[in-house]
Amino acid sequence: MTENKKGRYGPYGGRYSGETLMHALFELEKSYREAHADPAFREEYARLLREYAGRPSLLYHAQRMSLDIGTTVYLKREDLNHTGAHKINNVLGQALLAVRMGKKRLIAETGAGQHGVATATAAAYFGLECDVFMGKEDMIRQSLNVYRMELLGATVHEVTDGTATLKDATSEALREWSRRIDDTFYVIGSVVGPHPYPEIVRDFQRVIGDEIRAEMLEKHGRLPSVLIACVGGGSNAMGTFYPFIGDASVRLLAAEAGGEGVGSGRHAASVTAGSTGVFHGMKSLFLQDDEGQITPVYSISAGMDYPGIGPEHAYLHDTGRARYYPVTDQEAIDAFEYLSRMEGIIPAIESAHAVALLTKLRSEFTPDDFVVVTLSGRGDKDVEAIGRYRGKIN
């Protein structure tokens, strides 16, 4: 564990929350610790992952890519999970916890819509009420996911404040939790927010890394050499990296949203270009000005269009344990097409950032390396936007 009792990761993390939510955060932490220690809870969670989410996900040997890049490439296929992304791993855990705590209603923020869809799915499964907050911009970018959530019985609330994207949806979900706290469980979608959320989300996502580790050891008798994942808030990357933090031989590489290039000012590369601040309940790295005003961010990927990163990532960056690279929209789109053609797998535009980082850093890898890229989600939701970008769809 890199966090201490107060939810700190080095200087990062903490619980910078309004007093209205403090008691609920302590209650959540206590309930989580009890659930975590309860074998029945853990077994039920494992059963849900197995029988409902379809885990374990495949660790797929991408042979054509391996040949092309000159190393051994494996893809961790989170895109094959139920609802099409890694988000379901975390949501099933939190929803199970919500039920255990006697909550009747789930609320969530969503960017690309994947976390919102996963939350709406879990609410349907458990028979809970569900409200999802989504920026107006993202509702346009990801209209299919809006309908998907509604189909699952959730109410989607349009957020028009600020840049009308993920950060504003997160602020609105926090406000809603303050307004109605008794029967409501706030399902945070990434390793962000006040303690204990970054820890809870990471614990529910570490199944990604645990499965990679077990399968590598079983089939190859070794650990991977490199792990690559994309980061917005950073949940799939944290889940991938976490079980390997103590293994110095395993390189941890993360792709953040470079947008139109870090020099352009239109990006969401909070590690590369951010500074330490306190926002959304946590101390971490944020894109902000010299008086702490959060600056507008941009990425083609709605899921990575967030001005900060989870506190544990900020710490992994500081200590040099993981490295963070900006990947531009253009590089991500190229990778989106590359993976589709090379392996017959259409990745989410978020996940395409991770694939792009693999191709960018190809000269650093040898044929003896085992490089595992986490494909956090599938690309159906992005096909239309990319087609339009390429002028193939009107």
Partner 1 sequence: MRKDNIIDTTFKKLRAEGKKAFIPFVTAGDPDIETTYRIAKEMIQNGANLIEFGVPYSDPSMDGPVIMRADKRAMDSGTRLRDIFDLVGKLSVEYPETPFLLLLYFNSIFVYGVERFFDAAEKAGICGLIVPDLPLEERAEAQPCADAHGIYLISMVTPTSEERAEQIATSATGFLYCVTSLGVTGARKSYATSFAEYFSKLDSFSDIPKCAGFGISDPEQKRKIEQYCDGTIVGSAIVRKVEQGIEAGLNSEEIARSVGAFVRGFTGGKSNDPSVL
Q: List residues with catalytic annotation.
A: 87, 109, 376
Of residues 22 and 67, the one with the C-beta less far from partner 1: 22
* Tally of CB atoms within 10 A around 166: 32
CB of residue 302 to partner 1, shortest distance in Å:
18
- Helix, strand, coil content of the chain in percent (nearest 5): 50, 20, 30
Of residues 230 and 302, the one with the C-beta less far from partner 1: 302
Query: Backbone phi, then psi, for 186, in 5-degree steps?
Result: -90, 110
d(C-alpha 182, C-alpha 332), whole Å: 42
CB of residue 277 to partner 1, shortest distance in Å:
5
* Tally of CB atoms within 10 A around 262: 17
Torsion of CA 345, 209, 271, 379, to 10 degrees: 20
Residues that bind partner 1 (CB under 8 A): 6, 14-24, 161-162, 167-168, 170-171, 174-175, 178-181, 275-281, 283, 288, 290-295
d(C-alpha 393, C-alpha 178), whole Å: 43
Cα separation of the two ends of the chain: 50
Of residues 8 and 353, the one with the C-beta less far from partner 1: 8
Residue 44 token pair: 């039920």
Q: Which residue has the tokens 């988000």?
A: 87
CB of residue 131 to partner 1, shortest distance in Å:
15
CB of residue 22 to partner 1, shortest distance in Å:
5
Of residues 63 and 275, the one with the C-beta less far from partner 1: 275
CB of residue 242 to partner 1, shortest distance in Å:
25
With beta carbons less than 8 A apart as the criterion, state whether 382 and 348 touch.
yes
Of residues 79 and 305, the one with the C-beta less far from partner 1: 305
